Amino acid sequence: MVEKGGFYIIKEEIMPEILKKTVKAKELLKSGKAKTINEATETVGMSRSAFYKYKDYIFPFYEASMGKIITVSLLLEHIPGVLSAILDEIARAHGNVLTINQNIPIQNMASVTISFETGNMTKNVEDLLAIIQNTDGVQKVDIVAQG
């Protein structure tokens, strides 16, 4: 049995369309592109009643992760400067690195775990992780914890 009030991370690809529309409507309101709930819901093609039903229960990951500690697991090629480039990206986003754990490279690949605070970040976590994933020498990025 699932307890009430539990949280889950769900990939957008499998989310029902109504939940995606709810998030889009909330983003329109937050950005000021829509001035009213009615305008936002009409723009995304959903009813106001559905918006009200879901609005308090769905949030983009970056909203739920602000002011938290995020732990990411990375698989990096054993190339000089790869870890430094990742740390630079976190610093540019004003993330505060708390721990770094790097294993000895095996077959030219190193496993690294980084924990950082997101409270003062100027980028959302999703955007930062996308930048890190696209950094030369980064093979894989996974969020392993959020607290």
Task: From first to last of the 147 residues of the chain, give the pLDDT tens digit.
Answer: 445 556 667 778 888 999 999 989 988 988 889 999 999 999 999 999 999 898 888 877 655 555 588 899 999 999 999 999 999 999 999 999 999 999 999 999 999 999 999 888 888 888 899 999 999 999 999 988 776
Q: What angle is formed at CA 9 by the lines to CA 3 and CA 13, rounded to 5 degrees?
A: 125
Q: What is the pTM for the complete model shown? A: 0.59
DSSP state of 124: -
d(CA 67, CA 44): 29
d(CA 105, CA 82): 13
Q: Are 129 and 60 in contact (CB under 8 A)?
A: no
Is the domain covering 65-146 a CATH 3.30.70.260 domain?
yes
